[in-house]
Amino acid sequence: MSDPWQQFKALPWRSLVPTGLLVALLAALFDTGLYYIGGAVASVREALIILLQPPLVLLVRLGLSIGLGMVAVIALEVWFNPAPIYSGTLWALFLCVLMASVFLSFFGGSLGLRPLFFPLTDVFLIGTAVGIFWQGRRYWRY
């Protein structure tokens, strides 16, 4: 029997943690940028009002969260080239993105970050997990 704690410690954390921080920071900067651009430009504000209406906001947030999860896997593969990626590595990547998002949502108010499309909700969690495992589907078997 293999030791799960040893497998957890053996994951490529030096690649996963920066990837999670980078992806969460990109999401926060995207949200904050749209917030301030929407405050300055009337046409962007009107488009954001339409996108943030109840029936459409769920689909937009889900789609953007799936895209964020896909970006996380691409960033891990391209910039932070770890050891071989397995399904456990994808779960650890999800954990890193989640922890970085929790950190930024906790301290985001004091930093001036405004979540529009990536608030820390169940839609964000589900979308990010789907995006990570959809983009990393070739790594599932190992």
- How many domains are there within the chain? 1
pTM as predicted: 0.91
Residue 66 to residue 132: CA distance in whole angstroms: 7
Q: Is residue 114 part of a domain?
A: yes
What range does the domain containing 123 cover?
13-139
Residue 50 lies in a domain: yes
**Token duo for residue 95:** 């954990």
Each residue of 71-124: pLDDT tens digit? 999 999 998 877 788 888 999 999 999 999 999 999 988 888 888 889 999 999
Residue 52 has pLDDT above 80, yes or no: yes
Q: Judge whether 125 lies within some domain.
A: yes
The encoded tokens of residue 53 equal: 């209406």
Q: How far apart (Å, rounded) are the C-alpha atoms in residues 136 and 85?
A: 9
Alpha helix (H) ranges present in 10-86? Answer: 13-40, 42-51, 54-78
How far apart are alpha carbons 117 and 71 in whole angstroms?
A: 16
The reply to whether 4 falls in a domain is no
pLDDT at 142: 53
Tell whether the model's pLDDT for residue 140 goes beyond 70: yes
> Phi and psi at residue 40, in whole multiples of 5°?
-100, -30
Share of the chain above pLDDT 70, in %: 98
Contact 139, 85 (CB under 8 A): yes
